[in-house]
Structure 1
């Protein structure tokens, strides 16, 4: 009986040791999101990328996530906890997580970090983003062709380069095909607040906007567009379910291939700190199905622009272009360099209003 107990205990100990070794063999990957995974926009698509990682690696990976994490001290606390709990790789998926990511990475040099849309790197911190401005050039073209009031409403989150680039790109391409078009921009100072976003959409419609664009994460603007009988573009994800007749198309952020490749790099020991900025051609920026409301000729033009951006035949920021104050920016034949785009802090000529400081 005593011998049996000893053998049983030994077997149990071996079993626990084996299961512990198996747990250690798993690559643990953490994700922090600025909004809820059910926003059906930005955070939803990042979470789709997390699920793709699970599907790609099965039992070899363990993923954890925290949603609705405010930018700032809370983000630092969440990432610290993930690192302490054994995360090998952490994706921080919002611009305002930039400094918290660097702070936590300095304390955990053996943990790899990936920060979305930022520009600060370290030996164990990579940055990645999508060239959303390529997608906004396409929807700007469609908006310019389809507005009947010549007023496009734009709901903007924060006055950071990523958002300013998008406004400029959409406006440039709307203006090219409709010299009378005007953009009205409302800054809501949030990534995800359905009530604020709905209020902004209603305010823009009251000012005559019959096309709504957004650089915020909830489906509220699309829902308002559907209710008011106007048209809109989905942001970060296909929002057609919330605006079956309103959505003309949507810019879709497809993070899955990037997430899978970066997790694989950690697994095989090839991960290095890099800066990735991909667009339509690699597939990081994609489009939802185009609505039948878009006239055939406009759809053909939009599809041609997509192909030209893919091939490199066209750059959305091509001269001649001036800054808002009328000063020269790009001459005929010139295109904007990535450095200028990455730090963009000005409107192009024709846009009204000031960028908040």
Structure 2
């Protein structure tokens, strides 16, 4: 099997506007576009880990390539177009801001299949996929709520899009499930990957009495800051314990390989459809890292009970009663938010300090 290839960002002088259908005797060419460096932790690291798993699993039937550190916007459109023009049969675009660039390129290459992560738009040859990370966020919030002594928890966040707001709200619901007096303060950095900003925001939250930190960003900088400052930290995307062995309470981990296995197999079987899928704890896409030994056993048991209930469908994260930040009831007792409502969240739950950015 060929080693994975890092695709050049340059375009050839003459680009065809469509690609031929995949020939069964040739390996399926699968491309991945990453928003940040692969590194050894975080969002892109876990996508690339999944790429390596499927590359090994499918053997000579599949050839994978990737481009890392691709900015959202026009740069991503150029990279996606380049992959399409260079014979790729299936392309995964792995950041929210790649949604419209993916759709624009897809119209030019009708024989290429595209899968976009965390978006909500589809087309004849474009599907999308998401992880129900908010399920893990809720469980991590329970750990944070149990371990805070100041009743102030800090959250470093990338951009105020529904995916991030779902996570913040779910985390806060988990916090207040075990500690109704605790609150969550959010610091927005307007970036997916900026370790310096992430660390600066973490330090600012600690100065505001936060003694547990978490984040929706790509590097382990927040967990490192927690370790250095003697507070607790909760990782995201990958297990970040090595970056804060004393601080690390747990991590919400994204294992994308079940989705990549399913989508690649569907193209090989000629059964691929441009659908929207949303997998979580029950499908093994969302997992929790081991809990810190400081967390009381009774709290861990309670977290595990809630985890099992989410997996079995016996409860939902966003089940009523839920109030918004102003104390108005958003979800009544006995009701739960439906997926479409989760995709459109633009409000904070009760217990979050500060105003939502416009």
Q: Which TM-score tier does this pair reach, normalised by the shorter chain?
A: over 0.9
Residue 75 (structure 2) pairs with residue 96 (structure 1): no
Given that 1:29 and 1:62 are in contact with CA atoms closer than 8 Å, whether structure 2 keeps it comes out as yes
Taking the aligned partners of 2:302 and 2:107, their CA distance within structure 1 comes to 48
1:231 maps to which residue? 232
Q: Which has the higher helix share?
A: 1
Given that 2:153 and 2:185 are in contact with CA atoms closer than 8 Å, whether structure 1 keeps it comes out as yes
1:48 maps to which residue? 49
1:347 maps to which residue? 348
The Cα shift of 1:326 comes to 2.9
1:151-162 equivalence runs, <5 A: 151-162=152-163
The Cα shift of 1:199 comes to 0.3
Deviations 1:223-258 (A, max 9, x none): 111111111111100011111111111111000111
1:217 maps to which residue? 218
The Cα shift of 1:182 comes to 1.4
Residue 130 (structure 2) pairs with residue 120 (structure 1): no
Given that 1:140 and 1:169 are in contact with CA atoms closer than 8 Å, whether structure 2 keeps it comes out as yes
What residue ranges of structure 1 are gaps of 5+ in the alignment? 1-20
The Cα shift of 1:351 comes to 2.0
1:202 maps to which residue? 203
Matched position secondary structure for 1:129: strand
Moved over 3 A (4+): 21-24
Taking the aligned partners of 1:37 and 1:174, their CA distance within structure 2 comes to 31
The Cα shift of 1:327 comes to 2.6
Given that 1:91 and 1:114 are in contact with CA atoms closer than 8 Å, whether structure 2 keeps it comes out as yes
What residue ranges of structure 2 are gaps of 5+ in the alignment? 1-21
1:278 maps to which residue? 279
Taking the aligned partners of 1:314 and 1:23, their CA distance within structure 2 comes to 44
Deviations 1:1-47 (A, max 9, x none): xxxxxxxxxxxxxxxxxxxx999711100000011111510000000
Taking the aligned partners of 2:105 and 2:294, their CA distance within structure 1 comes to 48
Taking the aligned partners of 2:111 and 2:24, their CA distance within structure 1 comes to 18
Taking the aligned partners of 1:37 and 1:265, their CA distance within structure 2 comes to 26
Deviations 1:81-113 (A, max 9, x none): 000110000000000100001001111000000
Which protein shows a greater Rg? Answer: 1
Given that 1:141 and 1:174 are in contact with CA atoms closer than 8 Å, whether structure 2 keeps it comes out as yes
Matched position secondary structure for 1:347: coil
1:124-143 equivalence runs, <5 A: 124-143=125-144
Matched position secondary structure for 2:39: helix
Matched position secondary structure for 1:137: helix
How many residues were matched structurally? 337
Taking the aligned partners of 1:299 and 1:322, their CA distance within structure 2 comes to 26
1:289 maps to which residue? 290
Deviations 1:112-133 (A, max 9, x none): 0000000010010001001111
Matched position secondary structure for 1:37: coil
Matched position secondary structure for 2:170: helix
